[in-house]
């Protein structure tokens, strides 16, 4: 239809930004819960290592979102430079005695837990029957 050519991309980008903000919020909440739990059950040092990994994962997620945002007619594939972020943080952890690789790596994977949480939640929400409100 004439006059509606630009509405779909704008709506799609608004939906993308909303989804990204939701992922970020869920990741922050999960990070807080896991950080406090690790601090209570293990030690502050391990919890801080986890936190370093979780923030690296959030930075990775932000870089991925920026890369997806730039996709379009001129750019058709994602950049792979963000993988260097994980490599650098793991190399840093292996060289510096105060850092531990496993908590950092598990912290980095927190954003993956966010994706799993989101997919499971959406699967249960979409699987519920629509009950009309009186």
Contact assessment for residue 100 and residue 63, using Cβ atoms and an 8 Å cutoff = no
The position carrying tokens 């994602």 is 78
- pLDDT over 70 (residue 15): yes
pLDDT, tens digit, 9 for 90 and up, residues 63-94: 888 888 877 666 666 667 777 888 888 888 88
Instruction: Provide the terminal-to-terminal Cα distance of the chain, rounded to the nearest Å.
Output: 37
Confidence at residue 133, expressed as pLDDT on a 0 to 100 scale: 52
3-state secondary structure at position 99: coil
pTM of the model: 0.78
Closest CA to 105 of 50, 31, 38: 50
């Amino acid at each position: 239809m004439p006059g509606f050519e630009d509405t779909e991309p704008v709506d799609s980008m608004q939906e993308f930004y909303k989804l990204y903000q939701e992922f970020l919020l869920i990741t922050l909440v999960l990070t807080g819960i896991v950080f406090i739990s690790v601090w209570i059950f293990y030690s502050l040092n391990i919890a801080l290592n986890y936190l370093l990994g979780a923030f690296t994962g959030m930075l990775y997620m932000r870089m991925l979102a920026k890369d997806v945002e730039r996709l379009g007619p001129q750019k058709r594939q994602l950049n792979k430079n963000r993988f260097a972020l994980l490599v650098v943080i793991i190399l840093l952890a292996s060289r510096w005695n105060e850092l531990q690789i496993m908590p950092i790596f598990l912290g980095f994977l927190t954003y993956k837990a966010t994706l799993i949480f989101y997919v499971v939640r959406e699967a249960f929400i979409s699987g519920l029957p629509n009950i009309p409100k009186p």
